[in-house]
Structure 1
Amino acid sequence: MLNRLFALVFLSTWILGACSSSDKEKKETITTNQTPRIAYSVQRSFPHDTKSFTQGFTIHKGKLYESTGQNNSWIGIVNITTGEAEKKITLPSTYFGEGITILNNKIYQLTWQSKLGFVYDLNTFEKIRDFNYATEGWGITHNNEHLIMSDGSDKLYFLDTVNLSLVKSLPVTYEGKVLNQLNELEYIDGFVFANVWQTSSIVKIDISNGKVVGLMDLSDLVSQASMVNPSMDVLNGIAWHAGTKSMLVTGKYWPFIYSLKFKETENL
């Protein structure tokens, strides 16, 4: 179990420093005037494979699953003590892998611009079927009723879990304005948490109305990871461990996976 493995890893303390950013992807924090900041503490850190261009991150029955993109797109089960993944599915180079989620003993995977997703048997990792969508594919999660996906816009798309057809789309707003670049997603206790691409922020979205009701500022973690691997890319990866009520976060080419706990004063 993942929570048991946590105890095996020693938490290293690192000096925080300024984050280097590229012209392509500015690692900025979303500013807030009204939205509550979600307070958290870093419980421990784990190694992460700096060759992994992380696109999807999820925990199922104590196992951490990761999907990656670029020319070497794969899905694997991550060894939390080493950060290395045992690759179970490798996509042909024609596909750019994106987010994953697990529901009803199936893994659902998106691809970026191919408008094509894949469904695999969780136990055998054999492909069961393909499915199509009309947009790009970025992040995906589920609320047990629907699959929920993002495409880099301000929309969340709700898909039927049987025929994978579009049920509805939900615009997301932040302090009354459209919030674009929603990326990797995780459903937690009635809300969708989303990485916002090119930022060091995670937003908490009320899926009853699409409003952002909380904001996590992870700029310190971005700075810390950048000191160890200056070639790292943006924050991208949220996995919820329900048993320990902890959130694992990482990013593309990041050297660490961080385990976060929400402060007791924060009401999820």
Structure 2
Amino acid sequence: MKISLLATLLLATQSQAPLTPQIMDVEVVRSFPHETDAFTQGFLFADGVLIESTGREGQSRLRKLSVVTGKPTQEIKLPDDVFGEGTARVGDKLVTLTWRSGQGFVFDLTTLQQVGAFAYEGEGWGLTYDGEKLIMSDGSSRLRFLDPETFAEIGGVDVTISGQALPRLNELEYVNGRVWANVYLTDFIVRIDPVTGKVDQISDLSALFPRERRKDKLGDVLNGIAYEEKTERLFVTGKNWPLMFEVNLTPRTEGQ
């Protein structure tokens, strides 16, 4: 990330003036174990089950997790030559991206057996589904829209914050008409209007799992947003973090 952009995010969260976008702080409801060999890429709920996809060649997995233990109750490995990335649920399927191989996979939600594959241009980072189209990030400031059946690119939107392009959009989650995105290498989650591309909220999660507690202070970054619509529970985690957190996000009050 460009230093000027990171500075923009930091200054926004530290300002005491009325702000647009709105600044949110994190409150931990409870924490749960998370496997420290899980390089988290995709994170979502499907029918009450927490699903995670992980990355790195030879280590990429798609699995269902026990929330209580953090351990997989069902798991498959991706091919050893791909680097797993974001995952989205589409009906009774799970769609998973890979980083630089230009290849996506489709799995049966119940069995996790592969039932399809597709190709795309560029890198694959995050993926979510708004009920009509897949929304994909590729490391740039653009969100790409894909047809959920053919996986053809059907549009997109450029994401900006205060008029400035916001790159490194990573893991995605669709929540109540907005796209939430981790900003890679930061402890921020941004909320994006998918029509205009404007960031209308920044959540500062830097207090959640301080960098001095991370084994790899640069690599073990915040990544993973799972929202359960039925219960309105929000879970977050990070790459190789020992914990995942159920959290609430609260507006920052003046003077904080």
TM tier relative to shorter chain: 0.7 to 0.9
Question: Which position in structure 2 is the counterpart of 1:42?
Answer: 28
Question: Which position in structure 1 is the counterpart of 2:160?
Answer: 173
Residue 69 (structure 1) aligned to one of 36, 55, 62? 55
* Secondary structure of residue in 1 paired with 2:22: coil
Question: Which position in structure 2 is the counterpart of 1:189?
Answer: 176
Residue 164 (structure 1) aligned to one of 138, 151, 156? 151
Residue 116 (structure 1) aligned to one of 75, 80, 103? 103
Q: Is the 8 A contact 1:235 1:252 kept in 2?
A: yes
Question: Which position in structure 2 is the counterpart of 1:145?
Answer: 132
The range that moved more, 30-39 or 88-97, is 30-39
* Secondary structure of residue in 1 paired with 2:208: helix
The range that moved more, 229-238 or 105-114, is 229-238
Q: Matched residues in 1 for 2:173 and 2:212: separation? A: 24
Question: Which position in structure 1 is the counterpart of 2:16?
Answer: none
Asked if 1:240 is matched to 2:227, the reply is yes
| Structure 1 unpaired stretches of 5+ | 1-25
Q: Which consecutive segments of 4 or more residues in structure 1 shift more than 6 A?
A: none
Matches within 5 A, 1:1-268: 30-32=10-12, 34-71=20-57, 72-223=59-210, 226-227=212-213, 229-231=214-216, 233-263=220-250
Q: Aligned Cα RMSD in Å?
A: 2.0
Q: Is the 8 A contact 1:195 1:202 kept in 2?
A: yes
Equivalent residue letter for 2:120: Y
Q: Matched residues in 1 for 2:181 and 2:125: separation? A: 11
Q: Matched residues in 2 for 1:171 and 1:30: separation? A: 21
Q: CA deviation at 1:148?
A: 0.5
Q: How many residues align?
A: 238
Which digits, 9 at most, give the CA deviation of each residue in 1:119-144, with x for residues without a partner? 11112222111111111000000100
Q: CA deviation at 1:87?
A: 4.5
Which digits, 9 at most, give the CA deviation of each residue in 1:216-262, with x for residues without a partner? 00000130x752x4236010000001222121000000011111123
Q: CA deviation at 1:153?
A: 0.3
Q: Percent identity?
A: 42
* Secondary structure of residue in 2 paired with 1:37: strand
* Secondary structure of residue in 2 paired with 1:247: strand
Q: CA deviation at 1:93?
A: 1.3
Q: Matched residues in 1 for 2:154 and 2:10: separation? A: 30
* Secondary structure of residue in 1 paired with 2:23: coil
Q: Matched residues in 1 for 2:62 and 2:133: separation? A: 22
Equivalent residue letter for 2:48: G
Question: Which position in structure 2 is the counterpart of 1:19?
Answer: none
* Secondary structure of residue in 1 paired with 2:215: coil
Equivalent residue letter for 1:245: E
* Secondary structure of residue in 1 paired with 2:80: coil
The range that moved more, 232-241 or 109-118, is 232-241
| Structure 2 unpaired stretches of 5+ | 1-5, 13-18
* Secondary structure of residue in 2 paired with 1:31: helix
Q: Is the 8 A contact 1:29 1:217 kept in 2?
A: no
Q: Cα gap change, 1:30/1:246 in structure 2, threshold over 3 Å: closer, same or farther? A: farther
Q: Matched residues in 2 for 1:202 and 1:186: separation? A: 10
Q: Is the 8 A contact 2:24 2:251 kept in 1?
A: no
Equivalent residue letter for 1:66: E
Q: Matched residues in 2 for 1:143 and 1:83: separation? A: 27
* Secondary structure of residue in 1 paired with 2:38: coil
